[in-house]
Structure 1
Amino acid sequence: MMYSDIPAAQTLVLYFKSRGVKNIVISPGSRNAPLTISFTKNPFFNCFSIVDERCAAFFAMGMAQHLREPVAVLCSSGSAMLNFYPAVAEAYYSDIPLIVVSADRPSYRIDIGDGQTIRQENVLEKHIGYSANLKQDVSHAAKTISKFGGSLLEEGQADVQEHNEKQIVRALAVAFNEKYPVHINIPFEEPLYGRVEEPTVKIQNLEAPAAADTSIEENWDELSEIWRSSSRKMVLVGVDHPNAIDEEVLEILANDPNTVLFTETTSNLHHPEFFESIDSIIAPIEKSKQREKLFKALQPELLVTFGGLIVSKKIKAFLREYKPEKHWHIDAKKANDTFYCLTKHIRTSPNRFFKEIVSEEIDANSDYKAFWEDKKEKYELKRKAYLQEIPFSDFIAFERIIKNIPKGYQVHLANSSTVRYAQLFTMDQSLQVFCNRGTSGIDGSTSTAVGSSIHSEEPTLLLTGDLSFFYDSNALWNKYMRRDFRIVLINNSGGGIFRILPGKEDTEEFETFFETSHELSAKHLADMYGFEHITADDEAELEDVLKGFYSASKKPKILEVATPRVLNNKILLGYFDFIS
């Protein structure tokens, strides 16, 4: 093994090892050389080199999301770290423990005109769980320090070491206990490349601060009584990990005639009795002459939510207008008042909550669920009929693609049109579905999927649109692509989602500045990065190429599906008219 001769670098590496932070994503640079040397020369760590910092941060975040444990991403000084910010914000709102480590210039080099220097301390503080600003070692490069930053020498190395250890320990505790991203900023003075075979510091291995106990013991009898006596209960589930809810709980909820349970594709929750396509229930009501009456019939007395952010804009608009009497959110960490009617934050797991309050004894017995099940059966039949009537488009492409995903795959969805189309169709319950819904940006979808694939026991499929794919094309610039990695790229020559939003105009300005129409193909990118590239331009071609797309290969594959730009929005909007 080899270590940098700089104490702060040694200290960080030793604490990462002692706490079990094994995966380190490194964006090459010079100022971070002390850390790069120390991590890459220690066989305990799995080190990954990703040049583009934005891609590196999403790559690390995808890995942390999959492993459900902290993963570190490391960069040089200057604007490099600012490229981490999109992934940091996503991790913050998605409760993913990303550890950002930035090498910094000494304080006396900042704001004097030196290159690659910015004000790095606390720069991520608005979207971070903790910012650890380490102090510069005074035992390293002491002559330089005395010449330019003599005031630093007023503090001894022992005091610097104690401060740095406490900061590192606190940051790691937040990442592990609270599942927030954290930032550790470390200033280094040159020389940066000195090495020693054994560490010259001995860390104290300080006790991590105990996690704050935010739990509140609930009056379960009272909550259970409210649950049992409510004749219209709605359970709405946002982003969640696969297999997060016990089968016992699912069966009890499925058999309650007073409960409508809405899931989203990203919830990874499945049962024949649940309602999987929220928009297919609500859109027909919006267009109905009986709109007010039907929305009143759907309005719950009690709304119970758990999981992360909700994709469906329609359910958010409905619940904000037709508010429930009570809204309980179940989460040990936080509760968002998404519908402006939150009445209770229950700080526990959904499994414990439902086991405490739900029983087979039901006081109120209504036709709430049965009424909406009838609507569900009707739209499912009409969706099948609609697919027989329409020409090839995004709608047909997504239906065929989703239906043909092999069992057991890990599926990553890009944002905008992709995740919204996926909401309309049933995913096989063996699939594990992920999407960056914390900030819902198109940046980083591919990088996240690639990072998540690294430690996955199953193959990974990225289902993406053209703008998301081309925006994050540097995600393919690495040597870690698995041969079983698959990308299905829906290329509709622009941001198709803008054609269904209010304010759409058929003008050159709209096509250029909103839809951003283009004529790009992934062919050259596939050739450059060593992917097999396959195309499909119509329904027959798509069904034909899907037969062999997932078979074993020597290269990862991209399937690029071309769909008609100016027709897709009409067919999607026509679907909601048809089922109405």
Structure 2
Amino acid sequence: MSEAADVTFRWAAALIGGLASAGVTRAVISPGSRSTPLTLAALRHPAIACRMVLDERVAAFHALGLAKAEQKPALLIATSGSAIANWLPAVVEADMARVPLILLSADRPPELQDCGANQTMDQIGLFSSHARAFHPLPPAEAETGWLTPFTARVVTESLAPLAGPVHINVPLREPLVPSADIGIPQTATPPQVLAPTQEPSSTALEALASVIAQGRGAIVCGTEDLGAEGRAAVLDLAGRLQVPVFADALSGLRFDPRAGAAVLAHPDQVSRSADAADWILRLGGTPISRALSDWLKKANGRPQIVVGSSPRIADPEGTATHVLTADAATLCRSLGGPPAPAHWLKTFQVADKAAAIAAATASADDTPFEGTVLRRLARALPSDTPLVMANSLPVRALDWLAGRPSSGIRLFGSRGVSGIDGTMSAAFGIASALGPTVAVAGDLAFQHDLGALALGSDLPLVILVLDNGGGAIFDHLPQTVLPEFEEGWLTPSTLDIVAAARSFGIEAETVRSNDAAVSAVLAALQKPAATVIRLPIDRAASIARFRAFFAAR
């Protein structure tokens, strides 16, 4: 091996070591030749746990799940060319969902650019505005001292002021394989980065207090996880002000054991006929519910306080009158005001009880139905079990019919751009970080991410597939009236889900009732590897039951 290859490896090892010193502990790597020094450095670093994933698209979503579960940046490594282009869907989701990722792409050196060299393309700024920062590095050199403070800045950029992906492009010259006995160089101590404070100013608190004093209010919590402290602070504030809490299922508030009757069990249903509030405090992003969005629009012109933990504020309705960047827990603990009249909260609770009766009626029998199986699953899972919900119909069915089980489970979803891609890849990342995990996906989301099943041999993920014959979410949208509906939107799949899972060496079965599905999930949680459980659902019967539920108010 040449001295040049050893220089390149030491340089790559310093780069990886700097990231490790700054707090990176996970790397998801796809095999390739040009990325050899980076891969080898990560594999040899004692503080970084590496997982090799063949498919770069799966790898990126897997890293997304890891970073989301651990709330710190995960590292992605891949070779040059179209390999890293497969990261784009996950990078977009990480951008919009504010998930920290470090994208480490190998590249050809300058002399091989724009000359027809194999596996070479323009990688400069590949992820455009979806990356918080882009760093084109020079080819490897003997001097590595600057890499430690550089990597500390990179990790900081991925976390604040707006968490998200950071892209480092690394041109590497051949030879790429170092001497067999070369070790990992010692990394200098990086500068300590202190977390920014997000305490609201006294002026802001005074302004918000004057809003809250105006009368009958409400708190709306979107799809973002507010954390245990944030949820506790919201519940305490709602109790002091005696106002209802409209909490999206993914916020976790309805599953918090501390949640009381002020947290509406069926906020979507209640919002369809609720009176407009005099003021609204909005936390944790945008809710899934269209009906709740319409209720916010109905209150246009009345004070609506939109609070975000980052400068990217969620106000798609355009109804915010006050905007504040602050930590939700800190803000809620600092707010106060006179309680609303007793009848105000009672009115919402009466409507919520009626919705709960309608939900129980819609879920009464054991005929396979998305709403029933999710309602029962949410009550049956052990406390702290991570539950990953695919987009489209599964997450909405949970929001509509799960109610307020207060079971203590942990909710995850990909609501950055709300795509169905990468659901299982991300769920495997969450399972790798947190242990036995359940993912619920439709048949199309399952098919869209089949490559993720290659991760299932040693990760404890239970995948419940709600097989309703295609894109059943469109049954709830205007496209259903089109004569081309089945061909252009429903897109029913011919995939044999059980056979597909078994082809990856994963245990799989079909069950025929909601209770059987829940029992199978609970049993599979005890296994060390992945399991797929398919529940066939009659699409026409499903839409009829949803419509009956919505009509019962």
TM-score, length basis structure 2:
0.89
Number of corresponding residues: 538
What corresponds to 2:305 in structure 1? Answer: 328
Which amino acid is 2:54 matched to? V
1:455, distance to aligned residue in structure 2 (A): 2.2
User: After the TM superposition, which of the residue ranges 489-498 and 349-358 deviates more from structure 2?
Assistant: 349-358
Closer, same or farther in 2 for the Cα pair 1:253/1:282, shift >3 Å? closer
1:570, distance to aligned residue in structure 2 (A): 2.7
Q: Of residues 327, 333, 354 in structure 2, which corresponds to 1:349? A: 327
Within a 5 Å distance, the mapping from 1:380-399 to structure 2 comes to: 380-388=356-364, 392-399=368-375
Closer, same or farther in 2 for the Cα pair 1:536/1:506, shift >3 Å? farther
Give the gaps of 5 or more residues in structure 2.
none
Which amino acid is 2:268 matched to? D
What corresponds to 1:567 in structure 2? Answer: 541
What corresponds to 1:254 in structure 2? Answer: 239
What corresponds to 1:173 in structure 2? Answer: 156
1:310, distance to aligned residue in structure 2 (A): 1.9
What corresponds to 1:527 in structure 2? Answer: 502
1:524, distance to aligned residue in structure 2 (A): 1.5
Within 2, Cα distance between the matches of 1:209 and 1:403?
A: 41
Within 2, Cα distance between the matches of 1:168 and 1:406?
A: 39
Within a 5 Å distance, the mapping from 1:137-286 to structure 2 comes to: 137=140, 139=141, 167-178=150-161, 179-195=163-179, 197-198=181-182, 207=191, 217-219=201-203, 222-223=206-207, 225-238=209-222, 239-245=224-230, 247=232, 249-257=234-242, 259-270=243-254, 271-273=259-261, 274-283=263-272, 285=273
Within 2, Cα distance between the matches of 1:266 and 1:200?
A: 42
Within a 5 Å distance, the mapping from 1:33-52 to structure 2 comes to: 33-52=36-55
Q: Of residues 458, 463, 467 in structure 1, which corresponds to 2:440? A: 463
Within 2, Cα distance between the matches of 1:436 and 1:77?
A: 27
Q: What secondary structure, in the 3-state scheme, does the structure 1 residue paired with 2:533 have?
A: strand
Matched-pair contact (CA < 8 Å) for 1:269–1:429: no
Matched-pair contact (CA < 8 Å) for 1:268–1:429: no
TM-score, length basis structure 1:
0.85
Matched-pair contact (CA < 8 Å) for 2:134–2:167: yes
Q: What secondary structure, in the 3-state scheme, does the structure 1 residue paired with 2:418 have?
A: coil
Q: Of residues 528, 537, 540 in structure 1, which corresponds to 2:512? A: 537
Closer, same or farther in 2 for the Cα pair 1:214/1:356, shift >3 Å? closer
Closer, same or farther in 2 for the Cα pair 1:309/1:89, shift >3 Å? farther
Corresponding position: 1:372 with 2:348: yes
Corresponding position: 1:433 with 2:422: no
1:539, distance to aligned residue in structure 2 (A): 4.9
Q: Of residues 5, 9, 13 in structure 1, which corresponds to 2:7? A: 5
Corresponding position: 1:116 with 2:119: yes
Within 2, Cα distance between the matches of 1:552 and 1:203?
A: 41
User: After the TM superposition, which of the residue ranges 340-349 and 30-39 deviates more from structure 2?
Assistant: 340-349
Q: What secondary structure, in the 3-state scheme, does the structure 2 residue paired with 1:429 have?
A: coil
What corresponds to 1:152 in structure 2? Answer: none
Closer, same or farther in 2 for the Cα pair 1:374/1:214, shift >3 Å? closer
Which amino acid is 1:423 matched to? D
Identity %: 23
What's the CA shift string for 1:299-333, capped at 9, x where partnerless?
A: 22222111133211221233224315222222332
Which amino acid is 1:459 matched to? P
Which amino acid is 2:532 matched to? I
Matched-pair contact (CA < 8 Å) for 1:14–1:203: yes
User: After the TM superposition, which of the residue ranges 209-218 and 489-498 deviates more from structure 2?
Assistant: 209-218
Closer, same or farther in 2 for the Cα pair 1:194/1:308, shift >3 Å? same
1:437, distance to aligned residue in structure 2 (A): 0.7
User: After the TM superposition, which of the residue ranges 5-14 and 195-204 deviates more from structure 2?
Assistant: 195-204
User: After the TM superposition, which of the residue ranges 321-330 and 209-218 deviates more from structure 2?
Assistant: 209-218
Matched-pair contact (CA < 8 Å) for 1:4–1:38: no
What corresponds to 1:57 in structure 2? Answer: 60
1:230, distance to aligned residue in structure 2 (A): 2.7
Corresponding position: 1:556 with 2:526: no
Q: What secondary structure, in the 3-state scheme, does the structure 1 residue paired with 2:535 have?
A: strand
What corresponds to 1:90 in structure 2? Answer: 93
Q: Of residues 428, 434, 451 in structure 1, which corresponds to 2:429? A: 451
1:106, distance to aligned residue in structure 2 (A): 1.3
Within 2, Cα distance between the matches of 1:241 and 1:254?
A: 18
Larger radius of gyration: 1
Within 2, Cα distance between the matches of 1:554 and 1:127?
A: 36
